Amino acid sequence: MEFFTNILSIFQEHGTAFLEATWLTVSITAVSLLIATLIGVVVAGLKLSSIKLLNLIADLYIGIIRGTPLIVQIMFLYYGIANFIMLDSFTAGAIALGVHSGAYIAEIFRGAIQSIDKGQLEAARSLGMPTTLAMRRIVFPQAFKRAIPSLGNQFIIGLKDSSLVAYISVTELFNTALSAQGENYMPFETYFVVGIYYLILVLIFTQIMNRVERKFDVNRPKKVKVA
């Protein structure tokens, strides 16, 4: 019973803060995932290029990002380079999260493109399509469809990883929870509540991704099979 009254008091005392924090979590995630997707497309292109130098650049980027912890990257971008460029915490956080997810998304795109049967490109070229047109019209749409589940997964990881920007004083959900439990001395209930917030965000997001996936699935179309 005490648990529920405590929860209620958290909502009474920090309800507005959590609401604003939710907005910050959602917006920093959205900005970072946009950056990540753009980076992912470009770096996947570099990795698939036949130019060795471009492959090397992509490998270097992916290697460094995957090889170092996200929290180190965030701290580096906010405090580490402060002597040269002073980024505000939201910008530093969004860039760090975006550059981080970008490495993983690049690999998702590359894998998806490589998984498309070579016969698809050959068929398109045999019809007289230049390679770039064939990639754009035939290979990429199929690859994108195939990438959606992994992409959704990566986006959810990105959403939850955004909690790490709490440590560069972005007042998003986790940061708000940290300060709230410092005031109310109820760590159990406070972290429980913030967990619920993340859970709800992830569930909403999962629903959106499921819809996107269905939209691209031509095998369950509106057109009914007429024997």
Binding interface with another protein (CB under 8 A): 117, 119-120, 122-130, 133, 137-138, 141-142, 145, 218-219, 221, 223, 225-226
CB 145, min distance to another protein, A: 7
Task: Pick the closer one to another protein by CB: 145 or 160.
Answer: 145
CB 216, min distance to another protein, A: 8
Task: Pick the closer one to another protein by CB: 63 or 130.
Answer: 130
CB 127, min distance to another protein, A: 4
Task: Pick the closer one to another protein by CB: 185 or 222.
Answer: 222
CB 146, min distance to another protein, A: 10
The answer to whether 197 and 107 are in contact (CB under 8 A) is no
CB 121, min distance to another protein, A: 9
Task: Pick the closer one to another protein by CB: 85 or 224.
Answer: 224
The answer to whether 204 and 124 are in contact (CB under 8 A) is no
Q: What is the 3-state secondary structure (H, E, C) of 91-107?
A: HHHHHHHHHHHHHHHHH
Task: Tell me the backbone φ, ψ of residue 128, rounded to 5 degrees.
Answer: 95, 10
Cα-based angle 208, 150, 168 (whole degrees, multiple of 5): 80
Task: Pick the closer one to another protein by CB: 52 or 220.
Answer: 220
The percent helix, strand, coil of the chain (3-state, each to 5) is: 85, 0, 15
CB 218, min distance to another protein, A: 5
Tokens representing 7 are: 């929860």
Spatial separation of the C-alpha atoms in residues 149 and 137, rounded to whole Å: 21
Phi-psi region of 69 (alpha: psi -120 to 50; beta: other; left: phi over 0): beta
Task: Pick the closer one to another protein by CB: 85 or 218.
Answer: 218
Tokens representing 159 are: 């959403």
**Rg from Cα positions in the chain:** 22
**Amino acid (1-letter code) at residue 175:** N
